[in-house]
Structure 1
Amino acid sequence: MFYQDDPKKCTAAKMVKFGLAQNIKKIGSKGLVLDPFAEKTLLPKDASVIHSIVGIDCSWNLADHAFSQKFNGIKRKLPPLLAGNPVNYSKLNKLTTAEALSGSLYILGFKEQSLELLNKFKWGHTFYELNQNLLNDYSESTTEEDIQNIVADYGLI
């Protein structure tokens, strides 16, 4: 965690507090790093090559700097999703760390864990409700082209 946001609104800190995540210092080679600037999009088949999911907790205002650092691991960006959090409600791709982790869990086939994570936040159900159809479609995709078609079908480009 970079500790760049209001600690009271930090979803990463809350996940650590409830034992749903760990604050780590080193990322292994099989760690999936959620990077909004990555070239490749997260696909369900990525579940077979990863050991853990890593969300880099930083402020969106400082994301360029945070993600310019070298991180080990397998870098993937999430396909477009709408934020359900009160700060960036319905903004495309302005997700909290919790939303990003939940979205990735869902896409990778860990739907129960995804929803369990969201239950720790008052607005968690909102993220799911806004993205339920997208998440279902993304979780059935097999290629980047599938993602692009889904995005076009929903008018997200």
Structure 2
Amino acid sequence: MAMQNIVNKLENTDLNDEKSSEERSSSSSEDECEAIPDFPVAMWDFNQCDPKKCSGRKLARMNLVKCLKPKQRFHGLVLTPTAQKCVSPSDRDIVEHKGVAVVDCSWAKIDETPLAALKPAHGRLLPFLVATNPVNYGKPCQLSCVEALAAAMYITGYKQEARLYMGKFSWGHSFEELNRELLEIYARCTDSKSVIKAQNEYIEKEQREQENRKTTSDFPSSSDSSDDDDE
């Protein structure tokens, strides 16, 4: 990552935080049931990922997502790289009434995946966020299925539902910990344009701060200068 504060956060984020995992597992089953989405959650699985590492398939086994056939239509919000708009809080009504879906495919095979055939009515991109899944840890915008779904839920006002989904993974807590500031910024926006504006302002600010830190570090410290001793 180019932005130093993101790097620092990554270094301080433990993927195997056993204490956090225990704290999450201690939550009552009643609270968990309350956080289960009332709206449909689905995915298209193009069988391009390692089944043992695929977060989407794990969610499917837990009945937290419905698997769609390649040509099956979904009328809710669809997270796909072919979209022209960014997800925003204004999409809450779509998620509430029609649900949210994600495309499960390998980032290395995006170009050969028939995404155009999905023809979603409400296709959406996700704004800048950093992945914390074990496969793409620390990489910007290369989120796993569960991270993408959780991000969309969080931004559209379904924070508890997002935490429920991320809580199904031992590393899940790190996603919100690392991206909390950005997620909160996006969740306070109004529409797609304001999300993009907030994203760009955040990135520009971090780049300026990084440049300032670099410039400051280029100057010699007082300990580097030698005093002339009188003889």
- TM-score, structure 2 as length reference: 0.64
Structure 2 CA distance for aligned equivalents of residues 53 and 65 of structure 1? 23
Q: Percent identity?
A: 37
Contact 1:34 1:76 in 2 (8 A): yes
Larger mean CA deviation between 102-111 and 63-72 belongs to 63-72
| 1:105-124 correspondence runs (5 A) | 105-124=153-172
The correspondence for 1:70, drawn from 88, 109, 117, is 117
Match of 2:186 in 1: 138
SS in 2 for 1:55: strand
In the alignment, what sits opposite 1:7?
51
**1:6-155 alignment, distance < 5 Å:** 6-25=50-69, 26-28=72-74, 30-50=75-95, 51-66=98-113, 68-73=115-120, 74-155=122-203
Given that 2:90 and 2:191 are in contact with CA atoms closer than 8 Å, whether structure 1 keeps it comes out as no
Shift of 1:13: 0.5
Alpha-carbon distance change, 42 to 6 in structure 1, aligned in 2, over 3 angstroms: same
Q: Provide the secondary structure at the position in 1 that maps to 2:123.
A: strand
**Shift, 1:105, TM fit:** 0.6
Asked which structure has the greater CA Rg, the reply is 2
- Kindly state the Cα deviation for residue 152 of structure 1 after the two structures are TM-superposed: 2.5
CA distance in 2 between partners of 1:21 and 1:146 (Å): 29
Output one character per residue of 1:81-131: Cα deviation in whole Å (capped at 9) or x when no partner.
100111111211000011000000111111100000000111111111111
User: How many pairs are equivalent?
Assistant: 156
| Alignment deviations for residues 28-80 of structure 1 (CA, whole Å, 9 cap, x no partner) | 3x321101231110111112134011111000011122254321321000111
Root-mean-square deviation (CA), in Å? 1.6
Residue 73 of structure 2 aligns with an amino acid whose one-letter code is: I
Please list every run of 5 or more consecutive structure 1 residues that lacks an aligned counterpart in the other structure: none
Contact 2:80/2:115 (<8 A) preserved? no
Query: Where is the helix percentage greater, Structure 1 or Structure 2?
Result: 2
How far, CA to CA, are the matches of 1:83 and 1:93 in structure 2?
Answer: 7
Normalising by structure 1, what TM-score? Answer: 0.91
Distance in structure 2 (CA, Å) of the matches to 1:126 and 1:155: 20
Off by >3 Å, runs of 4+ in structure 1: none
Answer with 59-68 or 1-10: which moved more. 59-68
